[in-house]
Structure 1
Amino acid sequence: MAFSLPSSTAAALQDQWADTYRLLEQRVAALTAELHELRSERLAQLAEKEVLARRLQTVLNALPGAVVVLDGNGRIGSHNQAAVQLFGEPLTGIAWRAVIARCFVPQTPPAADLVLHDGRIVTLSTCPLGSEPGQILLFQDVTESRRLQEHLQRQQRLLDMGRMAASLAHQIRTPLAAALLYASQLKHPALSDDKRERFAERTVASLQQLEGLIANMLHFARGGVSGSELLAADELLHELHTTLETQVAGRNVEWRSEATDLHVRGNRSLLLSAWLNLVNNALQAAGESGHLEIFCRAAAGGGVEFGVHDDGPGVAPEMQAHLFEPFSTTRPRGTGLGLAIVRAVAQAHHGEAWYRSVPGDTTFAMRLPLVPVERVVEEGARRACV
């Protein structure tokens, strides 16, 4: 039996369906319009980010330095064109340690300047990525500036040598004339054995003074280090003690070593010569009754210090600004090269010379880089295997 609705009810349902369909159409249209608007906004945002990314890349490529961005795993996420010119390709996605092995010359000890296999010199600055893991590396090619600095230093040394020659002329003449005078007396037939021995000693002393002047001149003119021996700090102090044992006999001198198992790298004879200059200056400043402390110790900020402390009158304030300059001296027979040599030797060993002076409390020292313990152990093992 078929069921049929009254015509009025069917019409009402049909109207409801029509209304519902219109509502759905309106809702779909609204959602479509909303999605279109969101899509347009999203495309606009993507376009802005793409423009910003291009601008950032343009800025990176315009930078004179090489920029490398590392992720949390130490791999290169992005870089600029200068990095490609400096390190070559590939870079993106490569572990940074692989680039180090490929491009950099190993240095012992590590230096502020890094050297590439092609001879270029770069400096490195780092910056964290903020909240993200990783860091930004900025490399600056300083090859040309370092060459210019070296050239200027060479020119300055030549100028200093010219001044040195003029300053040393009369200093050399004095011991040379004395040596010639004493030597000429040695051939006198009537000279007694005692006088002959005394004249011979004075001749040797004058020649030794002359040799010392020339040695100081050569040390200062060299301006570098020949040799990179691994040196124990306390052993250097022992060698200095042996050298000065006769000279400081009867003087109030204390030897202090606080640098056990600490090592530096450099030229043994140059370091001892520079340290000896500091001690001789302190001996003259403190006088016969003064107290000296000759020390090697670990530096507060890292490294090893070799120096001397005395309780003499100190350095006059007007002289302190020129202490390490060549030919700056207050002693009548001084050449003013001692402290200049100390500074040159310290700098040649990648260190520095420093002083602190007030009446009754004066310290002069060289602060040199410390060789890491693992490097000392490694070199000791290598020598043991040879």
Structure 2
Amino acid sequence: MASRRPGYIRGIGMIAMAIGLAAAGGTIVRAFDHRFWGTIAVAVLVVLWLGALLAVAVARADSQERPANAEQPDDERIMLRVLLDQAPGALLAIEGGQVRALNRAARRLFATDDRVLPAPVALLSPDAARLRHGGRSWRIDRAVVDAPGMPRTLVALVDVEPEEHAAEARATRELLRVLGHEVMNALAPITSLAESALDVLDAPAERRDRLLPDILGTLARRTDGLQRFTEAYRQVARLPEPTVEPVRLADLLADCARLFESEWRHHVRLAVDDPGEIVAAIDRGQITQALLALLRNGAEAGIAVGPHPVVRLGVTTTAARLVFAIRDDGGGVAPADRASIFLPFFTTKAEGNGIGLAAARQIAQAHGGELSLDAGMPTTFSLTIPR
């Protein structure tokens, strides 16, 4: 209602002015007809008075409304700035390839007053979902605003370390549970066999000679199994830090193909996509180990379903990441097992040790990436690494 007041007052003033002019005009005409010079003077004064009254009313309305209309946007901007500065997460605006900090958290994170220089590649890439900065990991949430002249992207950085720590704690608890289960399963028969061997030693020679070799043979096999389990645990627990260097992906995939075919040539066919001349900074040995574990997993899954399975290996790249995809012809992963397949020592195979997928995921995470199982069929594992 306040914004309409000037028009309202002006309208009333114009109506009053018209009535006054009409009345004054009639008075002037009558005055000329009857030579009422005094009446003429009064009519002129009435017209001047009405004009002055209208001018004062309009000026007063403008003086009351203009400051309110001018101050309201400034108040809103100040309020918005206060709210942005109180936000705990870093907020940024990306426009024309430039990144600007919008609040105190963003300015503190990037040690800047306004522009972020140099702009992190992950922020400028619309495909990037994570940012590593200041020794921490941040999830990138984006919203595109169609601003006049040029689209603008608003970015919120969410600290995911608390989530990662919680996930690590859950994984540690699960690992300890699995370790306790596996060690107890191995130690219980060893203890029982050792007690049986002691009992047999006191038995007659004929019975001792007949039973002791069987007991000791079984005991040796169980201790050998426990040793293999310990070595498998060491593979997961002592993964070294990756030594990153530029690697031509075509050479990496060729190495994986040769190693895979030396073991599976007569049973499984491997199809490898040509990645071209792409070069990425990775630990060549660790990524080869991870890809071989995934290829071996695909081969075993395919053979379990039928003869002559095919495993496919490919890689796609963007400005922010590269994704290795491994697909197989197997029967898929049961929904109940999807949450457990990356846990150390979890396996659904009679001869499996549950190490391959867990080690591959650790390698991906050591590179700042992730290993995931895609939804749907065919079974596809995606090993994602930031560039």
TM over 0.5: yes
The TM-score, its normalising length taken from structure 1, stands at 0.62
Of 307, 314, 338, 2:326 maps to: 307
The answer to whether the aligner puts 1:220 opposite 2:244 as a matched pair is no
* Closer, same or farther: CA 150–223 of 1 in aligned 2, 3 Å: farther
Partner of 1:383: none
Of 176, 197, 207, 1:162 maps to: 176
Of 259, 266, 275, 2:291 maps to: 275
Alignment root-mean-square deviation, CA: 4.6
Partner of 2:58: 34
* Closer, same or farther: CA 217–270 of 1 in aligned 2, 3 Å: farther
Query: In the aligned structure 1, how far is the partner of 2:365 from the partner of 2:97?
Result: 38
1:340 partner SS? helix
Query: In the aligned structure 2, how far is the partner of 1:128 from the partner of 1:149?
Result: 26
Q: Which deviations, in whole Å up to 9, do the C-alpha atoms of 1:213-253 show, x marking residues without a partner?
A: 55642342257751223333332222123323432243342
1:365 partner SS? strand
Query: In the aligned structure 1, how far is the partner of 2:112 from the partner of 2:270?
Result: 60
Which amino acid in 1 is paired with 2:258? T
The answer to whether the aligner puts 1:56 opposite 2:104 as a matched pair is no
Of 353, 359, 362, 2:372 maps to: 353
Partner of 1:292: 309
1:296 partner SS? strand
Q: Which deviations, in whole Å up to 9, do the C-alpha atoms of 1:307-366 show, x marking residues without a partner?
A: 2523x55555654553333332233332222222233333444132325787xxx53433
The answer for unaligned runs of 5 or more in structure 2 is 1-31, 190-221
1:100 partner SS? coil
1:162 positional shift:
3.3
Q: Decide whether the 8 Å contact of 1:65 with 1:138 is kept in 2.
A: no
Q: Which deviations, in whole Å up to 9, do the C-alpha atoms of 1:262-309 show, x marking residues without a partner?
A: 444422222222222233334434449722334332449984324252
2:362 partner SS? helix
Query: In the aligned structure 2, how far is the partner of 1:35 from the partner of 1:319?
Result: 78
Query: In the aligned structure 2, how far is the partner of 1:252 from the partner of 1:124?
Result: 40
Partner of 2:5: none
Larger radius of gyration: 2
Q: Which deviations, in whole Å up to 9, do the C-alpha atoms of 1:119-150 show, x marking residues without a partner?
A: 566555444554434646454462xx51x445
Which amino acid in 2 is paired with 1:353? S
* Closer, same or farther: CA 264–309 of 1 in aligned 2, 3 Å: farther
Query: In the aligned structure 2, how far is the partner of 1:26 from the partner of 1:53?
Result: 42
Query: In the aligned structure 1, how far is the partner of 2:107 from the partner of 2:236?
Result: 42
* Closer, same or farther: CA 89–235 of 1 in aligned 2, 3 Å: closer
Query: In the aligned structure 2, how far is the partner of 1:319 from the partner of 1:106?
Result: 36
Query: In the aligned structure 2, how far is the partner of 1:107 from the partner of 1:251?
Result: 42
Which amino acid in 2 is paired with 1:259? P
Q: Decide whether the 8 Å contact of 1:71 with 1:135 is kept in 2.
A: yes
Equivalent residues in 2 for 1:90-129 (5 A)? 90-91=113-114, 96=115, 99-101=116-118, 112-116=130-134, 123-129=139-145
Of 328, 332, 343, 2:361 maps to: 343
1:33 positional shift:
1.1
Partner of 1:24: 48
